[in-house]
Amino acid sequence: MADIRITGRMVNFTRLTLDTNDHDAIRQQLANTLSEGAYQGTLVIIDSTVEQELIALIQLLISLGLQPMAVIDGILGDEARAIQFPVLPADQPLQRIKPSREEVVLVEEVKADTLNSETKTTPTKTAIAHKTSYHDEILRTGQSLVQDHGDIILNASMNSGSEVIASGNIHIYGNVRGRVIAGAGGNSAARIFCHSLEAELVSIAGTYCVADDIPKDVLKKAVHIYLNDKQELVFQALEF
């Protein structure tokens, strides 16, 4: 009998992206996020946009109950290799594609400009462009469809490894196998509608759910996804 066996297992990691090397600030922000204990023991991959004292950062994450497993190659790559800490290859950028067509609607926003700090105000009107992107072709692996100022309507399916990102709502009239991100920029009123849900990740206004955590009773069904009053994702199966 062989002394070594090689087997495979799918393991979920959480990617921790850092835009600061102030470890006090990192500790405070993570402590707030981890306060309910939901992330205790979570395996994390470190991705930093700034230089870090890597050993100190690893010790910080461990002290907070996280398990750092590797860094994304880049700014921290050489430092990680010097201490023989695992390094994962950087992501390949997705190809941002143009929608089949786009519709623009000007919406008037009324604001009150103060003329006199005590009593007088005068209203002003500002025209805001709300855009809806329509795409009629399958979104293929490695492709990204983005609408920064409105909604997206995808009249086809999306493959795994693709993504749809909108500041507003997202409607997908096909199978969803990639990443769907609505309310980008913080719009918690945004919603997601899809014909068949098999997504790698869904997110609204920063609240996200990965594939393994999507309720099993809505998989491969038409689903409406939104945030409730507690800013939790709700998955509602649609009946036709």
Mean pLDDT of the 161-174 span = 95
98-127: b (≥16 Cβ within 10 Å) or e:
ebeeeeeeeeeeeeeeeeeeeeeeeeeeee
For β-strands 201-204 and 207-210, DSSP reports them as antiparallel
Amino acid at 132: T
Supply angle C-alpha 166, 183, 94, rounded to 5: 40
Per the listing, tokens 């470190």 go with 46
CA distance 193 to 170: 6
19-42: b (≥16 Cβ within 10 Å) or e:
eebeeeebeeebeeeeeeeeeeeb
137-158 residue pLDDT tens: 999 999 999 998 899 999 999 9
Q: What is the pLDDT of residue 35?
A: 63
Domains and CATH numbers, the chain: 14-88 (no CATH), 95-105+129-237 (2.160.20.70)
4-22 residue pLDDT tens: 755 545 456 788 889 899 9
